């Protein structure tokens, strides 16, 4: 668990990385905290794969929402959102623990059915990798546990089984990920993958706000590619 003041400074740094466009800021802040959203010309679309608790967080923070009737998107957030509202969402506290319920068994047939994964609430996910957990199922990859590394090691995600590891090796390259790739660590269930974002950990390079932003920004770039391209649609049609 990181300090409140530190995450407030990170929030400010993420805002500073935008062009100042209201819709861009809205999308970027929500994605950094793990909300499945995508901007269009008039607002930010909310995925039908969003967890109920996440949607409740949007409602409780009084974001201006309207329904959308499409296959992928269920609502739209309109851009008249205050910085305080965005800050409250960005600073939703995270708790240590499991990523989500173990809904799927280890067969290849159920591997192919993965769409939104366990729909884990963002407040069960660490800062920095919450969005990564949310977009992996869009590629057909089911995760069962995650950790941001707590500044002493690389961020980690545990894949459900060997089928997800093998597919990740192929699909991540197509997502323009140029970091390391998953490997088998001696078992067939709950296979850990450490995302080597940089050669050194935050503890080694110095845990400043700027270093933390740069460290996790590469993961955000991967998440953005998955959300903004049609690769997730292709992955979900896996046969």
235, 138 Cβ separation under 8 angstroms: yes
Q: Is residue 97 situated within a structural domain?
A: no
Give the pLDDT of residue 236. Answer: 52
**CA distance between the termini of the chain:** 40
Q: Cα-flanking dihedrals φ and ψ of residue 201, to 5°?
A: -80, 170
What range does the domain containing 179 cover?
108-236
Q: Does any domain span residue 95?
A: no
**Do 138 and 187 fall within a single domain?**
yes
141 closest CA partner among 119, 118, 120, 167:
167
| Token pair belonging to 15 | 């805002």
Mean pLDDT for back-to-back runs of 10 residues, the chain (239 residues): 68 95 97 94 93 93 95 93 95 66 53 63 85 87 80 77 84 85 62 72 78 88 90 54
Q: How far apart are the C-alpha atoms of 182 and 47, rounded to whole Å? A: 27
Element (H, E) at 170: helix 162-174
Same domain, 213 and 170: yes
- Does 96 fall in a domain? no
How many domains, the chain? Answer: 2
End-of-domain residue from the set 63, 90, 117? 90
- Tell me, yes or no, whether 55 lies in a domain: yes
Question: What is the pTM (predicted TM-score) of this model?
Answer: 0.85
Instruction: Tell me the two tokens of residue 9.
Output: 């400074």
Contact in structure between 207 and 149 (CB atoms under 8 Å): no
- Asked whether residue 137 is assigned to any structural domain, the reply reads yes
Residue 58 lies in a domain: yes
């Amino acid at each position: 668990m990181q300090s409140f003041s530190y995450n407030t400074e990170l929030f400010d740094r993420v805002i500073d990385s935008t062009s100042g466009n209201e819709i861009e800021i809205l999308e970027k802040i929500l994605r950094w905290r793990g909300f499945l959203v995508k901007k269009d010309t008039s607002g930010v679309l909310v995925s039908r794969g969003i967890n109920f608790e996440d949607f409740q967080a949007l409602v409780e923070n009084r974001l201006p929402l309207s329904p959308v009737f499409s296959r992928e998107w269920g609502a739209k957030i309109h851009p008249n959102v205050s910085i305080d509202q965005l800050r409250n969402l960005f600073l939703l506290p995270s708790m240590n623990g499991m990523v989500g319920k173990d809904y799927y068994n280890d067969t290849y047939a159920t591997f192919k059915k993965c769409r939104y994964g366990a729909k884990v609430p963002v407040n069960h996910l660490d800062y920095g990798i919450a969005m990564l957990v949310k977009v992996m199922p869009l590629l057909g990859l089911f995760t069962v546990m995650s950790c941001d590394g707590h500044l002493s090691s690389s961020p980690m995600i545990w894949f459900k089984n060997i089928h997800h590891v093998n597919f990740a090796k192929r699909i991540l390259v197509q997502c323009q990920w140029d970091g390391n790739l998953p490997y088998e660590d001696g078992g067939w269930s709950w296979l850990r993958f450490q995302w080597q974002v940089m050669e050194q950990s935050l503890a080694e390079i110095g845990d400043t706000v700027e270093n933390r932003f740069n460290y996790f920004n590469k993961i955000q770039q991967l998440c953005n590619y998955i959300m903004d391209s049609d690769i997730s649609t292709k992955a979900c049609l896996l046969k």
